[in-house]
Structure 1
Amino acid sequence: MKRALLIVDVQNDFCPGGTLAVKDGDKVVPVINGIMDKFDLVISSQDWHPEETVHFRKWPVHCVAGTQGAEFHPGLEADKIDLELLKGTDNKDDGYSAFEATNASLTDFLQENNIQHLYVCGLATDYCVKASAIDAVTQGFHTYVITDAIAAVNVQPGDDEKSLQEMYQKGCVLMESTEIQ
């Protein structure tokens, strides 16, 4: 049974001090670093927005391609990542899901490497993590969301809990990092 870890958008702009900081976003980094070695493959996604995009009508400017804000959090052990996916690169879309990457096909990569089980973590629970996890289920992968390795934007109070419930209802397994063997 081959399995992969998908690290969603653990980037400077989503961590404290960033332009779209997720409360406690940096606290996912040590949890993620602690589990990377348990997987056959490690994949990451990064928002990689153009300077002008419809996405910035909804959100503050963040993760502009090539900027410090778009880089991985400096504590993330990025050297362990096998595939880096860039998303949100078109100025006409949001690019929430890692399955919308423009530089590679996540589905093809997982299938070519015989991955059936995909574990999802990162930022933010209520947007990019949720979109990526639900797309993984839709694509036929056994999908697990690592609840102590995610953090939410919570535009509305309780968005994190609603998102977890939605992912569960769509077929994701919710689990803690300590449950990963």
Structure 2
Amino acid sequence: MTAIDLSRSVLLVIDVQNDFIPGGALAVNDGEAVIPRINQVGRHFKQVVITQDWHSANHISFAENHFGRSPFDCIDLPYGPQTLWPTHCVQGSSGAELHVDLDLPHAQLILRKGCNSGIDSYSAFVEADRRTSTGLAGYLKARGIDTVYLTGLALDFCVAWSALDARAAGLNTFVVVDACRGIDLDGSLAKAVRQMQAAGVQLITTNTFHDPQENPSIPVAV
């Protein structure tokens, strides 16, 4: 076990929004279960960033904006294959709001992604065209952060893409798997886990974290 300096670490909380919670437009099964675990983990971090899916109503990733297409169809767009989704997290809607039980008042940044109507954006770092930066890597670098812990929804899409891009940006990257839930669309969950492990993302659980009064560092299971 090795210890990581929390002063150089950030908790990245991905898309804990009403539309991804059961009852929402694109519900992740058991999605509400991540909230108390994220709140628990969040108490160990001084630096927290939250992401928020924030789509226009005419977003290119919405099935209803493509005649004859259904949710979960896949089409080719100029930037590559695109899964079509039910309309979700529309800017200013109740479904786009962060869940009321998410308790991270010390978060310094809420990063809205997917705002460009012509490009989807799973990752907190780079949009789906793989060229357009969200600016998050620069923000973290400016704050001296070299280690990212990820939680949230959904593990096999926005969490995994964010984790892979964090590694590509040279960051030490950990995914707290029991503080995430996945969609598992046609084997997407197992594929995402394989990709993350191959890229050097470490998968840990909330049991990794100890009371900060007892130990100011986080032991990392290797």
Map 1:37-48 onto structure 2 (within 5 A).
37-48=43-54
Which of 182, 188, 209 is the matching residue for 1:152?
Answer: 182
Which of 117, 125, 135 is the matching residue for 2:155?
Answer: 125
Q: Deviations over 1:17-48 (max 9, x none)?
A: 00000000110000000011211300011100
Aligned-partner SS, 1:80? coil
Cα RMSD for the two superposed structures: 1.6
Gapped regions of structure 2 (runs ≥ 5): 64-83, 210-217
Map 1:1-181 onto structure 2 (within 5 A).
1=5, 2-57=8-63, 58-100=84-126, 105-156=135-186, 158-180=187-209, 181=218
How many matched pairs? 180
Gapped regions of structure 1 (runs ≥ 5): none
Task: Provide runs of 4+ in structure 1 moved above 3 Å.
Answer: 100-104
Aligned-partner SS, 1:110? helix
More helix by share: 1
- How many angstroms apart in 1 are the aligned matches of 2:176 and 2:94? 27
Identity within the alignment, %: 40
Q: Deviations over 1:124-161 (max 9, x none)?
A: 011100110000000000000001011011122x4222
TM-score (norm 2): 0.78
- How many angstroms apart in 1 are the aligned matches of 2:199 and 2:96? 30
- How far the C-alpha of 1:106 sits from its partner, in A, is 0.8
